[in-house]
Amino acid sequence: MAKTKTLTLTAMFAALAVVGSFIKIPVPPGTAALDSTPAFISMAFLPAPFVAIAGAFGHIATALTSGFPLSLPIHVLIAVEMAVVAGVAAVIYRKGFRKMAWVWIIIANGVLSPLPYYFIISPAMYIAVAPGILIATLVNVVVSLLLLPILQKIIFRSGVGIQ
């Protein structure tokens, strides 16, 4: 039964990430969206590997809806980064360091994740996209923080919560 709940919640958050992928945040590189919000929210309900899956799935959906502007290999790399960011955040969050999890997300996703652009594409690309990615991360975090208390009440009241 617990496996079914875990898979169902993972599918729900992944589906919400796809919906979020259509809500674009107008910053460079053009693939920023509210796709991360469901993954960030899911860390309160799911084990880290499933949060990572929701995070990676969200980025791939955004890249797909944007036409893979940075190429498929770069977007796969970004999806892996998103999985790591969301998965580590879930571990931190579930250990009770909730504020630290949000700080990790902002630093890891908003500052560290764009670093491969510096080496793979060019330093100019990093300088161009890093501020936009940080802004998009902050928007996703703020939306997550606003929605999380509401969803916690709904999900735990319904008896679906996984702890």
Tell me what pLDDT residue 136 has. 94
Tell me what pLDDT residue 117 has. 86
Q: Is the pLDDT of residue 29 over 80?
A: no
Where helices occur in 67-161 by DSSP H, the ranges are 72-94, 98-107, 115-120, 123-157
Fold held by 2-157: Arp2/3 complex 21 kDa subunit ARPC3 (1.10.1760)
Higher pLDDT, 47 or 4: 47
Q: What are φ and ψ of residue 24, in 5° steps?
A: -80, 145
- Contact call for residues 36 and 14 (beta carbons, < 8 A): no
22-26, 30-34, 81-85, 93-97: least confidently modelled range: 30-34
Tell me what pLDDT residue 27 has. 87
- Contact call for residues 37 and 143 (beta carbons, < 8 A): yes
Q: Is the pLDDT of residue 1 over 60?
A: no
Q: CA 117 to CA 27: how far, in whole Å?
A: 16
Q: Given pLDDT bands bounded at 50, 70 and 90, which one contains residue 28? A: confident
pTM of the model: 0.89
Tell me what pLDDT residue 70 has. 82
Residue-wise pLDDT tens digits, 76-89: 999 999 999 999 99
Tell me what pLDDT residue 162 has. 58
- The 3-class SS string of 87-101 reads HHHHHHHHCCCHHHH
Pick from 145, 37, 134: nearest CA to 99: 145
Q: Is the pLDDT of residue 122 over 60?
A: yes
**Other Cβ atoms within 10 Å of 154 Cβ, number:** 11
Burial of 5 (0-12, 13-18, 19+ CB in 10 A): middle
Residue-wise pLDDT tens digits, 58-107: 999 989 988 888 889 989 999 999 999 999 999 999 999 999 999 999 99
Q: Is the pLDDT of residue 31 over 60?
A: yes
Does the N-terminal peptide bond of residue 131 adopt cis geometry, omega within 30 degrees of 0? no
How does 87-110 read in b/e, with b if 16+ C-beta sit within 10 Å? bbbbbbbbeeeeeebbebbbebbb
Tell me what pLDDT residue 4 has. 87
